[in-house]
Structure formats: C-alpha cells, structure tokens
Amino acid sequence: MRIKLISLFVSLALTYTSVAQSHKNEIGIQSDNDSYLAQGSDRYYTDGIFVYFRHALKADGTKLKNKVLGFEAGQKIFNPQGGNIPGPQYIDRPFAGYLYAGATLNLLYANESNLKLGAQVGVIGPGSGAEGTQNTVHRWFNFYHPTGWEYQIHDGAVINLSAEYNKLLTRGDGIDLSFTGYGNLGMGFSGAGAGLMVRAGNFNQLFNSVSTQSTASNIDSKDLLHPHEFFAYYKPVLNYVAYDATIQGSLSSNKSSAPLQITSNRQPIMLSNEVGVAYTASHWVLSFAAIFHTKDTKEQVRVHQWGSATVLYRF
C-alpha cells in the first residue's frame, strides 16, 4: 500500500515543471522499509513511518539566509534477524518500537552552514504500538505472522535532544563536498557522529536544499543555483553510540517486571553509508535513499540495510 501511494505521488510530482519559487510551507511523509531494497529481508530496523510539517520563519537575509520551524511525528519498528523467530536464543537485536512527536529549528546561514536543533518526546515499548502495526501490515499483504514480540523492550518514556551541523567545504562544476555532524542526548538515544556528503548534479546552496531539509523558505528562486534540484549524493558517517534504548532497554522502565524483555549489548562504533537521489519541482520534493549500516549490537549475525522514500508538498 505504501509503495503504491509513493508511486502515485511521484507520478503527480513529475507533471509539475514550472520554474521554482519560494514556498514558506511544506507537508509530507517519509517511509522507511528494508523491503524497498528487494533483499527479501525483514530484520533489525525493518520499518519506519514519519509525517512532517515545516514553515519558513522570517530571516534577516544577510548572515541568516533561512530559518525553518518543523514539526514531526513517527514510529520505528525493530526486529531481530527475523520477525518470526523459533526461540528467544535467536534474538540478536531486541524486538522494539519507538513512537514520538518532535519539533526542530533549522538555522541556515549565507556561508552555507546550518545548525538544526531538535527535541522529541515519546515512548519505547508496547506503548509504541509497533507490534500491532507490524501484525496489521503483514495481515494486509498476506505475509507471515510475526512471533517473538512477548520479549520486546519494556515501556519507557523518552525525552531526547538533538543537534545537527553541516558546512560546505568545497564546490566545483556540478559537484560539492560538505561536512556533516550530529549529537543526541536523552533518555532514548545518546551519541554523536561525523562524516562527509558528496553531491553531484543540479543542487542548490545548503540554505535552501533537500540536503538540509530547508526547501521551505522565503528565498527568491533568482538567488539559487538552479530552479530545480536533481542530484545524487553519497554520505558516509562514523557514529559513536553511547546509549540506545531500543537495544539496551529504557532508562525509565522496570527491568525486573514481567514479561521478560531481552536486551542486547550495543556496538559503540558503527559506520553508516547512505546513497540517494533527490528532486524538486515547483511544489514537490522527492527523495529516495539506500542506507547501509554495520552491526548495531555485538550479538548481531548480519549487517543491515533499508530504503527510505520521502514525498513533500510545498505551498
């Protein structure tokens, strides 16, 4: 169902070819799933669904080129090496769900650096509804019935803060290189990461680009490099994981309570590689990425990967 919906949005978006203009607002959806890469897998970070609304605030237009306030809500679902395990000894990454709502403030500067600050509140565990979501989707598509959720991470509240920083390093004809970094701190996720992003094609400055979630803006199209973005990118990031509640259990849960929860030992150093393509039309923003991660836990028997599709409408 999600694939059909995304295909419909793509078909509609490609009919818009008018010259780009500023749009102060955008609303859209992002869907993550390992099935998008046609690997036949259903493991680890197996599914995610997110909705977004972003609004461009007034910026001074000199040093601060763009300022975007965002709101989002989402759900993530995690499985072990399969969603239908024969016994608890096969749980190499815990069953877990994460349901949240959050807000972001994205400050984008004329020198093509940006600082994006965020906060999330949510719940990890049965209260996230992850088991019900997975069972429903599998029933709709006549997939197998998942088993093993009785061992999932217990309920726990999450309050988390985040910061992301990007900075243009160099730009040539049709290609550029940027630094990217982030940090997380809170009851659900703590850690940091740093890496690079290479873009090739028709891209705009980092203060009004898909790359920095800043396509909502008050910027006139004449100030941009291209009326439409259409580029490919590669983004390797080295991550340090200090704490992950979907692996280790929530800080606020009672770990001694029944039923049994099975946790794992986090892998503190993880490498992620993201390869994708992005396109903007007059009102539409489309992107698709393939993400490849090394192991999240010391017990994992495989690395994992998934696809991520995003469709936004600007107005």
What does R_g of the chain's alpha carbons equal in angstroms? Answer: 20
Angle in degrees, CA 88, 89, 93, rounded to 5 = 80
Q: What percent of the chain has pLDDT over 90?
A: 80
Lowest-confidence range among 4-13, 26-35, 114-123, 175-184?
Answer: 4-13
User: Any idea what the CATH number is for the domain that residue 255 is in?
Assistant: 2.40.128.140
Domain count, the chain: 1
Instruction: Please tell me the predicted confidence (pLDDT) of residue 61.
Output: 82
- Owning domain of residue 49: 2-314
Indicate whether 84 pLDDT > 80.
yes
Instruction: Please tell me the predicted confidence (pLDDT) of residue 20.
Output: 44
Q: What percent of the chain has pLDDT over 70?
A: 91
| CA distances for 99 relative to 11, 122, 157, 272, angstroms | 30, 5, 10, 23
Q: Residue 277's closest CA among 244, 229, 236?
A: 229
> What is the per-residue pLDDT across 159-178, written as a single tens digit (0 to 9) for each?
999 999 999 999 999 999 99
Label residues 62-93 b or e (16+ Cβ within 10 Å = b).
eebbbbbebebebbbbbbbbbbebeeeeebbb
Using CB atoms within 10 Å of the CB of residue 176, give its burial: 0 to 12 exposed, 13 to 18 middle, 19+ buried.
buried
Supply the mean pLDDT for the chain.
Answer: 92
> What is the per-residue pLDDT across 103-149, written as a single tens digit (0 to 9) for each?
999 999 999 999 999 999 999 999 999 999 999 989 998 888 999 99
Q: Residue 93's closest CA among 240, 247, 239, 241?
A: 247
Instruction: Please tell me the predicted confidence (pLDDT) of residue 114.
Output: 98
Place of tokens 């490099």: 225
Indicate whether 34 pLDDT > 50.
yes
Q: Are 79 and 46 in contact (CB under 8 A)?
A: yes
Whole-model pTM? 0.90
Indicate whether 9 pLDDT > 90.
no
